[in-house]
């Protein structure tokens, strides 16, 4: 196992500088711009206490129109295969974020897995920024939390970051990490365009706010591998593939023809 794979297995997150060369970065940026120009049914502006923009879009059903060529040429799928030590890699879905126009709220602490019906070690989220981020303005993670408890999702309530997405779920409410930061092993990095931060979707993570005059454009790409299985727990609605949940049973291999296979 490579040292990078060991770090990913242990910590749940790795920062890899300079993975995307100018061509790969430009292709990722073009896909991001495609998403901004072609909003999907889940595009939304996350509510702010200011006039700042905090825009997101994800699960666009036409995503591959703007993403297929970029994904097939990208070094990221091979990197994912190296991280989990198996050649099989599929693309699950994209998510874009835009923060600009003033003091945008921080992204509340949460786990992506709380919103997804998938489990396994062969899971990865590749986070790409198109604007330089200082360490204090970057994405933050609780090291090793992918091996810990799965919490209820955050509904991004302005008054309470821990307000649960599914109040009647058996999943416990998120802890108030921001109020007790000293109690958690929090890591982050200064990130430049071309760098990758890759993390397991079960990781507790959150994003710093943006400030007046600043802009943060980020793209996340979610991948899975051979050991990923269907996990239909409460709140795990994704992916939004027509008929997918009707066909699947708990523990089934996480597969569907709509998922683009990218490696082996």
Q: Distance of CA 120 to CAs 9, 177, 250, Å?
A: 12, 25, 12
pLDDT at 241 over 90: no
Residue owning tokens 């490696």: 263
Give the model's confidence band at 16: pLDDT under 50 very low, under 70 low, under 90 confident, else very high. very high
Tokens 């036409």 belong to which residue? 62
Q: Is the per-residue pLDDT at 174 higher than 90?
A: yes
CA distance 262 to 168: 38
Q: Which residues contact 186 (CB under 8 A, 6 or more apart)?
A: 140, 141, 142, 143, 177
User: Residue 40 in contact with residue 86, Cβ under 8 Å?
Assistant: no
Mean pLDDT to the nearest integer, 128-137: 95
Task: Determine the average pLDDT of the residues in 224-238.
Answer: 84
CA–CA gap between residue 108 and residue 162 (Å, rounded)? 8
User: What does the angle CA 209 – CA 197 – CA 10 come to, to the nearest 5 degrees?
Assistant: 115
Name the E strands within the chain: 13-16, 44-45, 53-58, 89-100, 107-110, 118-119, 123-129, 139-142, 186-188, 196-199, 205-207, 215-224, 229-230, 260-263
Q: Quote the domain boundaries for residue 44.
A: 3-263
- Distance, CA of 220 to CA of 36 (rounded, Å): 14
Mean pLDDT of the chain: 93
User: Within 13 A of 44's CA, how many CA atoms are on the CB side?
Assistant: 8
Task: Give the pLDDT confidence score for residue 182 in this predicted structure.
Answer: 96
Q: Residues of 192-221 as b/e, b for ≥16 C-beta within 10 angstroms? A: ebbbbbbbbbbbbbbbbbbeeebebbbbbb
* Number of domains making up the chain: 1
| pTM assigned to the model | 0.96
pLDDT band at 95 (very low <50, low <70, confident <90, very high): very high
Beta strand 196-199 pairing with 13-16: antiparallel
* Domain of residue 159, CATH code: 2.60.120.620
């Amino acid at each position: 196992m490579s040292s990078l794979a060991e770090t990913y297995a242990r910590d749940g997150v790795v920062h890899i500088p300079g993975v995307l060369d100018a061509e790969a970065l430009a292709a990722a940026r073009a896909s991001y711009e495609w998403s901004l120009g072609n909003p999907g049914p889940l595009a939304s502006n996350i509510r702010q206490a200011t006039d700042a923009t905090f825009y997101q879009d994800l699960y666009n059903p036409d995503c591959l129109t703007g993403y297929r060529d970029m994904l097939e040429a990208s070094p990221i799928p091979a990197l994912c295969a190296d991280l989990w030590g198996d050649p099989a890699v599929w693309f699950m879905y994209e998510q874009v974020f835009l923060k600009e126009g003033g003091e945008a709220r921080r992204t509340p602490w949460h786990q992506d897995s709380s919103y997804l019906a998938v489990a396994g070690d062969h899971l990865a989220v590749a986070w790409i920024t198109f604007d330089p981020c200082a360490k204090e303005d970057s994405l933050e993670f609780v090291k090793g939390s992918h091996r810990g408890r799965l919490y209820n999702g955050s509904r991004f309530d302005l008054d309470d970051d821990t307000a649960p997405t599914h109040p009647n779920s058996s999943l416990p409410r998120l802890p108030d990490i921001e109020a007790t930061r000293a109690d958690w092993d929090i890591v982050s990095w200064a990130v430049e365009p071309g760098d990758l931060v890759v993390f397991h979707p079960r990781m507790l993570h959150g994003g710093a706010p943006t400030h007046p005059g600043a802009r943060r454009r980020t793209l996340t790409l979610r991948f899975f591998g051979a050991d990923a299985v269907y996990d239909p727990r409460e709140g795990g609605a994704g992916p939004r593939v027509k008929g997918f949940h009707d066909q699947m049973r708990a523990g089934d291999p996480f597969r569907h023809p709509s998922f683009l296979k990218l490696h082996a």
